[in-house]
A and B are shown apart, each in its own frame.
Chain A
C-alpha cells in the first residue's frame, strides 16, 4: 500500500487549479492584493514625515532668532502655523493635536547668547506619536548650528563657537531608526505573503468539509500527503507570481535596491512560503468553518505584523515577546529580506534564517499531517 501516489497527487493538483481558475474574485485578490498593498503602504507608511505643524512662542526677536526659525522652516520638517503666548497655550495646542511642536524662545535670548550664557531654546514635542517627531528632532541641532554660524559674524564671531552658543532642549523626544520606504517595502513582502498564503490554505480543507465534498474525497483511497501537497503546490506558484509582481513594483516605484545574493533570497522565500502554507493547512485542520479559519489566520497575521520587527524594532521588545516573535516565520523572513536586499548578504550570511524557517516549516507541516483526519471523526 503506497503512502504517496503521484497520480492521486496530480488529481488533487489539477482539481485545485481548475477551482482556482473558476474562483475569479479570490484569484484577482491574490494577484491584485500585493500591488494595492504596496502602493497603499509603500506610500502611506513614512517614518520620516515632513511639514509638521509647529507653533512658536517668541519672547525675543533678533537676527539670530529669525535665522534659527528660518532655518527650521527651510528644513521642510517644520511648518510654522502661528504664534502662541504662555506655556499653557502651547501645551493645549499640543494636546489638541493642532501642532506637533511648540518652539519657545526665552526672553533676552540674544543678549544672553552674546554674553556667552548659553541660553536654552525649548522645543516641546508631541511624543504621543514618537515616530512622527523623530526625524525633525534629529535635524534640529544641525539647523540651529548652521543658523548661528551664519548670523554670528563680525564682532560676534567670538561667541559663534562649536558647539552652538546656546542649547536646544527637546522635551520627550523619541528617536526612531528613521528609515523610509526602503525599509518598509521588503517587510511588506513578508506581510503580504503571510496574509494571502495562510488565509487561502486555511480555508482549503474547511471548504471541502463545509461543502460536503470532504466525505467524497476521503471515501477515495487518497492519502494525507497527496491532499496536502496537491492543495499547497498551486498556491506556491501563486506566491511566486505575487513576489514577482511585488519586486517589479518595488524597483519601479520605490527604487528599492537589491544588493545581495538572489539565490539566498530565493531559498529563504521558498522556505517562507512553504512555512506559511503549512501553517494555513494546520489552521484548516483545526477550524470547523471557513469563518473560523479566517479568524484564526487573522490571529496569526497580527504577530507577523507586530512581533516580527516589521512595525516595531525587534530589539526593543521584552524577552518573552522576542521569544514569541522567534516562532513567527515572518520574523526570520523580514530579517533575511532586509539583509539580502539592503545589506548585500549572501546565503552564508543568512544561514541562521534558513535554519529557523526550515524548522518552523517542518513543525507546522508535521502538526498539520498529524491533525489531518482520514475519517470524519
Chain B
C-alpha cells in the first residue's frame, strides 16, 4: 500500500453510451480519513463509488483500493469494503435479523450469530429483530443499512448519500457514528449534498458533470477557491440583490436567512463596489471568511458555464 493511502486511483473514466459520466478522475484517500464527496445531482458521484468497489468496470484509469487493483481484484476489494447504497438495498421481505444474518453469511463472518445479536443490540433493534425491514421508517432503514455494511468490520466504508431523506436528529447520530468509526481507523468516503456534513469531513473533493473541480483538506477549500465574501444585513435586501447584480467584482450573491452574502474572486473590485453601496444604502456591511457553501455555489456556477459552452 503506497504511502498509507487506502484509495489511490488515477484517470478513472466511465461512459454510458456516448455520455461521459466520469472524466479522468483522480482520488487519494488516506487511512482513517473522512473523505467528503460533493457535487450536484448527476455529477458522477455514485458512478465513481461503484467503480471503486468493483460494481462497475472503469473504461479507463487504474489504481488501488485497499492495496488491490481496482480493475482486476474486485472480489478481494469487496471482502473488505462496506458499501451503503443510496437507495435502501436490503431485502424488504426479510426481517431485520434475517437481513443481517444474510449479509454476515455472505462475508463469512466468524461467530455469526453472536455478531448479529451484537449488531442488533448496538442498533437498539433487538426487540424488533423479527420485524420486516420493509416496514421500517427511513431513519431506521438507514441505521439498519449502516449496521449491515459494518457487520464484517470493513476497513473502508463507501457511503453514497447516506443521510438523504433522514431527519436532523438521525443525521446527527449518524455522523457521531461515522466519527467514532474514523477514530477506530476505518476509512470513510461519503457523498453528500449537505454543507453541515461537508464541514465535518477531513478532506473534500468536489465534482460536477464528471469532472473534479477541486480537492483538498476541508478547511482549505474556500482559500483554494479564492473567494472573498462580504455580508450585508439590514432592510430591503431583495432590492439590494437586484442592484448588486452585474456590479464590478460581484461574482455571486447568495441569500442566507436574513443576510446577503456577496462574493467575488477580485477582492479589490468587490471591496470598491461594497464601499459605494455602503455609502448610499441602509445596510450594514462586514467582511467575513468565505465558507464552504459559497465556495461550492461558485464552483457549481462555473462548472455549469463550462458544460453549457461544451454543449454549444
**Residues of A near any B CB (own CB < 8 A):** 1, 5, 7-8, 10-11, 14-15, 18-19, 22-23, 211-216, 218-223, 374-377
Contact = CB atoms under 8 A, between A and B. Distances in A.
B55 A15 contact: no
Contact of B89 (A5, A23, A215): A215
A211 B98 CA distance: 17
B56 A5 contact: no
Contact of A19 (B89, B94, B148): B94
A213 B55 contact: no
A260 B91 CA distance: 46
A215 B88 CA distance: 10
B98 A18 contact: yes
A71 B67 CA distance: 92
Given A8-B105, A23-B93, A375 B55 contact: yes
Contact of B75 (A1, A19, A377): A1
B92 interface: yes
A7 B108 contact: yes
A221 B85 contact: no
Interface string B94-131: 10001001110111100000000000000000000000
Contacts of B56: 375-377
B31 interface: no
Contact of B83 (A14, A22, A219): A219
Contacts of B92: 211
Contacts of B219: none
Nearest to A11: B105
B91 A219 contact: no
A374 B73 CA distance: 12
Contacts of A11: 102, 105-106
A202 to B, nearest CB: 19
Contact of B102 (A15, A22, A218, A219): A15
B78 interface: yes
A204 B152 CA distance: 26
A19 B90 CA distance: 13
A221 B54 CA distance: 10
Interface-centre pick from B54, B55, B76 (highest chain A CB count, 10 A):
B55
12 contacts: A7-B108, A10-B105, A19-B94, A23-B93, A212-B87, A215-B85, A215-B89, A219-B55, A219-B85, A221-B107, A223-B75, A375-B74
B106 A8 contact: yes
A214 B74 CA distance: 16
B108 A220 contact: no
B77 to A, nearest CB: 9
A374 B77 CA distance: 13
A222 B106 contact: yes
Given A215-B55, A377-B57, A221 B75 contact: yes
A216 B106 CA distance: 11
Nearest to A21: B93
Contact of B108 (A8, A15, A223, A374): A8
B50 to A, nearest CB: 6
* Size bracket, chain B contacts: 20 to 34
Interface in B33-57: 50, 53-57
A247 B98 CA distance: 36
Contacts of B87: 212, 215
Interface of B: 50, 53-57, 74-76, 78-79, 81, 83, 85, 87-94, 98, 101-103, 105-108, 132, 148
A223 B78 CA distance: 11
Contacts of B54: 219, 374-375
A223 B54 CA distance: 13
A1 B54 CA distance: 16
Contacts of A215: 55, 85, 87, 89
A211 B133 CA distance: 13
B260 to A, nearest CB: 42
A213 B57 contact: no
Contact of B94 (A5, A10, A18, A375): A18
Contacts of B91: 15, 19, 211, 213
A222 B98 CA distance: 17
Contacts of B76: 1
A221 B103 CA distance: 10
A219 B105 contact: no
Given A7-B108, A221-B75, 10 more contacts: A15-B98, A18-B98, A216-B89, A216-B90, A216-B103, A220-B78, A221-B79, A221-B107, A223-B75, A375-B57
Contacts of B132: 22
Nearest to B105: A11
A61 B78 CA distance: 92
Contacts of B94: 15, 18-19, 22
B28 to A, nearest CB: 22
Interface-centre pick from A5, A10, A212, A215 (highest chain B CB count, 10 A):
A215
A115 B94 CA distance: 88
B108 A5 contact: yes
A50 B227 CA distance: 94
B85 A216 contact: yes
